[in-house]
Structure formats: C-alpha cells, structure tokens
Amino acid sequence: MPQFLAFLALAIGLPLAIALTGLSTWAWVGLGAAAWAVALVIKISAGTVVSVASERFLRRPAMKAAVWGLWSGLAELGVAAILFLTVEPFPALGDTIGFGIGAGSVEVVFVLISAVASSSRGTSTEADSPGAGMDWSGVIERALTSVGHVSSRGLVWSGVQGWCMAPAVVVALTTFGLVDGVATYGTNAKWDWHDPSVIRRFHRFLALVTVLEAVAFGVSIVLV
C-alpha cells in the first residue's frame, strides 16, 4: 500500500535521514519523540480539568475549542521549552530540527497504531477526527503536521534565547492553538472528516498556517 509506505517514510525515514546525515544527533531526535509522549500524557490527564472548566464557564463551542487548542500548545511546547532550557549543552539549530522531527514521527506512529487497532476492531475513526485514516489525506495531513512540529518547536527554541525573542513563543502558541483549536471545533461539531470537501478546506487552512509558521521560524533564525 503506497499510503502505508508514505506513513513509514514520515515515521522512520525522516528521523533516520536527519540523524545519519549528521544534521541532528540521535539524542535530540529521541528527546523530541519522548517529549511528545510526555506532553500527550500531561495533555490528557490534566486536560480533563480544562474540559470541565470550559464546559462550566464557556458557552460558545468556538471558545471551548480555542481553550483546548491553547492548552494543547502549552502542554507540548511547554515540555519543549523546559528541555531546551535545562538540557546541556543548549541545542544547535540542527538538533532543534531533529527534536521537531522526532515529535512529528512519533505522532505518525501513534496515528498508525490507532488506525490499525481501529481496523482490527472493525471500526473506523476517519469521520471522527482529521488525519485519522490511512489514506492520502492522512499522509498529507501528517506531512504538514510534521513541518508544524519542527517550526513550532523551532520558534520556542528561538524564543527562549532572550527576552527580545519572546514573541516567537507567542507566535508558536498562536499557530499551534489555531490548528488544534479548529480540529477540536470540527470534531465537536461532528464535521465529516471523510468528506473530501471538508478535508480539502481543512488542509488548505492547515497548509496556510504551516507556511506562516515556517516563515516565522525562518525569520527567527535570522534574528537570533
């Protein structure tokens, strides 16, 4: 299945390529993967409180989704910031890219496992959340999201290097929250993620945010 091979390329090929070429060390690629897993646990465990508070104090579905998107960004990018500030020596640019690729790759593995498990149970998640299916739309979304993982963590890397670069962290949280917030809103609103017109619109939105995020990361590299 070509789609499955494409998923494997994102999950295994990218980390291998960046480590074997020496652009990043294996340690930072692995840290990126581990950080994503830790953030997922934090996001889910403490996210219950966030969800309950949103249901109690917020009425509009868009606001609830926005709060979840912000919480998701704080969890994932917060773990990244802590590692950047505490692990010695401070990561080079290449290691930061490897860190983001590690995060994106382990998320692809998670999506693959979820899809296979869903298939074995005779259920489908394709209409329940974006990028959940093992088809080309899922591949496109994982590819765009992987770029987003690199750019968002890269912006955090730039932002923690001095107060004058702090706006980079704000940009990272904003773009991250936008993507997760819209995905959450769509899922809660029962959007049919298997509908080609729905997924195309979401992909256009995701691509736009991804490009803006990547450009912001590039600018931050120049300014650091």
CA distance 196 to 192: 9
Q: Is the pLDDT of residue 39 over 80?
A: yes
For residue 53, the enclosing domain spans 2-223
* Strands of 47-102, DSSP E: none
189 closest CA partner among 130, 124, 122: 130
The counts of H helices and E strands in the chain are: 8, 0
Q: Say what percent of the chain tops pLDDT 70.
A: 94
The per-residue pLDDT for range 96-118, each reduced to its tens digit, is 999 999 999 999 999 888 877 87
The per-residue pLDDT for range 129-166, each reduced to its tens digit, is 675 566 888 999 999 999 999 999 999 999 999 999 99
**What type of residue sits at position 118?**
S
Q: Is the pLDDT of residue 125 over 70?
A: no
Question: pTM for the full model?
Answer: 0.93
